[in-house]
Amino acid sequence: MTATAGTVETAGAQPTEALARWARRNAWSLGLLAFFAALLVFTKFIQPSYGVTGVQGLAISVLPLALAAVAQAIVVISGGIDLSIGSMMALTNVVAASLMLGRSDEFAVVVVVGVLLLGLVLGAVNGALVVLTRVPDIVVTLAMSFVWAGCALLVLKTPGGGSAQWLKDLVLGPLGNEWIPKAAIVLVLIVGLIWWAVRRSRFGLSLYAIGSNQLAAFRSGVSVGRAKVFAYALTGLFAAFAGLSLTASTGIGNPLSGSYTLQSVAAVVLGGVSLAGGRGGAFGPIVAVLILALLRTDMTFLNLNPNLATSAQGIILIGVVMVGTLFQIRRGRP
Amino acid sequence: MSSGEANMTTTELVPLVEMRDIRVAFGGVHAVDGCTVDLYRGEVVGLVGGNGAGKSTLMRALSGAHPPDSGEIRIDGQPVSITNPRDAKTLAIETIYQTLALADNVDAPSNVFLGREVTTRLGSLDDSAMESATRTVMGRLNPNFTAFKTQVKSLSGGQRQAVAIARAVYFNAKILIMDEPTAALGPAETAQVRALIRQLKSEGIGIFLVSHDIHDVFDLADRISVMYHGQIVGTVNKDEVTIDQVLGMIILGKRPEEVTQKELAKLHG
């Protein structure tokens, strides 16, 4: 009797139920998205001229950090952290720029593929060191960040090099409608395809399982070491995408290209990926990057000291995480 | 049921599991110091002993979680090498841990199939196949279980234990190691798990039951192996001993016949 009622109910209410479950699971990301929308309205309010140019500028400026945030999200979900993302971006950025300078478009294709492979290798080295030495992730990747940063300076001492025109055209400007930035499409394509493949794979499941409970995953027969190396390699790949996007958007290579590592950690935390591992996705961190960038723009519009913007970012981060934790505690004790 | 009883008398049969002279040391500490135990089809062997007696370490040697330093493990009479949990699972050895070790942030079917996922021909996860298989096996174990799509962290202790047991049952375990299977459960859930152990036993599965709860062990086990300071004090048939005698073995580390009157008096205080 009860069993029949149960099956009828699930059969009838499946779509709405699934939708509700999806919304519940992605509540944080949806909230961030709503906040971003509100922020856009606010921006238009304080700066009525904010429009096509603003949106295009936002898209191109967030592309490297958005890719870096996805890179960080992958490894954080697996229960680790990668402090060498910024250095890997710098290294891949300068390698691409120095190799492409004055070379043909065809050669640039080879360079792009090679640099992506380089990213995979850099990440795999990080992962292998973490697994083999059993030194905490944070220590290994911090050390490796100096190694990769040093390598970047060996390749290019000062900003220089160049980018193939087609690579620049790939991310600069709109596609079709003037409101649709190419950079956004590139981001959605890269992240969408790879993330979708990861979520549908055995590796994706082990990623979340290891992040949730490494011991349980190991006892269940998951090859924890292999999955970790894989996670770091994938992080390296996304760092290489981020480095290439720097080459494409700036047209040059810069061995000291900014504080992407810690910003990626900030975006991941703000984006609802638990630093304890096992929770979150790629979408939240990307929206978080958009929010952080737009906040910075708004502060310029409001004529606030740009240095204040950095501090404000930190304060917002702490505030958001505190509120998030508070919600979680509330939900834990109904 | 008949197979379970048959084992009590036909000891000339090849044991399902033989662990001979197993040694595991952590630095200078001999956690398991030359232990020999065996297990027959359809039998429950209780493994008891005080804290740090080495019960869990001995079982980890069998489950592949911590390979032994020396000693021999035979399954159906064949010497085997178990160096990681995957080796153990290929030999149809499944383990259910006291800590209800599950990956909290994934759902029940994913936990059941973790490490042995079902994939489609394209190599992607076959979620619907895993869910329906989990529904089938869960229908047998715990028909009230319906939370197939929620993350297991929001399940109750009994439901989580059901997920852990479903994992063992689905993959046709021949040998089941249960490390304090009822430690984290309430009375009703404990009764459920006990009934389940009896059911699995009647299906011919050999079960090592590690437990602090002497009543659990007396209720379920056919034989009891007592450990003391990393060694086996003795293995006794449950029907031939009293709870007090087993308690004496656990506390004093001696077989009942070796215990002096003085020690017995002291034990009863």
Confidence of residue B12 (pLDDT cuts 50, 70, 90): low
Mean pLDDT score of chain B: 84
Angle at B182 between CA B181 and CA B185, to 5 degrees: 130
> What is the gyration radius of the CA atoms in chain B, in angstroms?
19
Architecture per CATH, domain A54-301+308-332, reads as: Orthogonal Bundle (1.10)
Nearest CB to B104: which of A197, A222, A278?
A: A278
**What is the structure's pLDDT at B73?**
93
**What is the structure's pLDDT at A22?**
78
Nearest CB to B125: which of A200, A211, A213?
A: A200
Under 8 Å between Cβ of A231 and A237: no
Q: Render pLDDT for B101-160 as a digit per residue (tens, 0 to 9).
A: 788 888 889 988 888 888 887 778 888 889 888 888 888 777 778 888 888 888 887 788
**What is the structure's pLDDT at B82?**
92
| Contact yes or no for B114 and A221 at CB 8 A | yes
Residues (pLDDT < 50) of chain A are 1-12, 333-334
| Contact yes or no for B114 and A209 at CB 8 A | yes
| Contact yes or no for B89 and A221 at CB 8 A | yes
**What is the structure's pLDDT at A7?**
38
Residues of A in contact with B146 (CB under 8 A): 6
**What is the structure's pLDDT at A288?**
93
Name the E strands within B99-220: 175-179, 206-210
**What is the structure's pLDDT at A4?**
37
Tokens 């120095």 identify what position?
A98
**What is the structure's pLDDT at A191?**
93
**What is the structure's pLDDT at A14?**
66
**What is the structure's pLDDT at B182?**
80
Chain A closest CA to B115's CA: distance in Å? 4
Q: Give the C-alpha separation, B212 to B220, whole Å.
A: 13
Q: Render pLDDT for B44-62 as a digit per residue (tens, 0 to 9).
A: 999 998 888 888 899 999 9
| Contact yes or no for A219 and B95 at CB 8 A | yes
| Contact yes or no for A216 and B101 at CB 8 A | yes
Average pLDDT over residues B170-175: 86
Higher pLDDT, B219 or B11: B219
Nearest CB to B115: which of A21, A201, A221?
A: A221
- The residue of chain A nearest to residue B60, with distances taken between CA atoms, is A219
**What residue ranges define each of the domains in chain B, with the CATH number in brackets?**
15-105+172-267 (3.40.50.300)
**What is the structure's pLDDT at B6?**
46
| Contact yes or no for A208 and B106 at CB 8 A | yes
Q: Render pLDDT for B186-213 as a digit per residue (tens, 0 to 9).
A: 787 788 888 888 888 888 899 999 988 8
| Contact yes or no for A216 and B89 at CB 8 A | no
**What is the structure's pLDDT at B177?**
92
3-state SS, chain A, equals CHHHHHHHHHHHHHHHHHHHHHHHHCHHHHHHHHHHHHHHHHHHHHCCCCCHHHHHHHHHHHHHHHHHHHHHHHHHHCCCCCCCHHHHHHHHHHHHHHHHCCCCHHHHHHHHHHHHHHHHHHHHHHHHHHHHHCCCHHHHHHHHHHHHHHHHHHHCCCCECCCCHHHHHHHCCEECEEEEEHHHHHHHHHHHHHHHHHHCCHHHHHHHHHHHCHHHHHHCCCCHHHHHHHHHHHHHHHHHHHHHHHHHHHCCECCCCCCHHHHHHHHHHHCCCCCCCCCCCCHHHHHHHHHHHHHHHHHHHCCCCHHHHHHHHHHHHHHHHHHHHHHHHHHHCC
| Contact yes or no for B114 and A200 at CB 8 A | no
Nearest CB to A219: which of B97, B110, B124?
A: B97
Confidence of residue B35 (pLDDT cuts 50, 70, 90): very high
| Domain boundaries of chain A, sorted by first residue | 54-301+308-332
Nearest CB to A213: which of B63, B102, B146?
A: B102
| Residue B10 confidence (pLDDT) above 60 | no
Q: Render pLDDT for A56-90 as a digit per residue (tens, 0 to 9).
A: 889 999 999 999 999 999 999 999 999 999 999 99
10 Å Cβ neighbour count for B64? Answer: 23
**What is the structure's pLDDT at A6?**
38
Pick the closest to residue A64 from A254, A269, A272 (CA basis).
A254
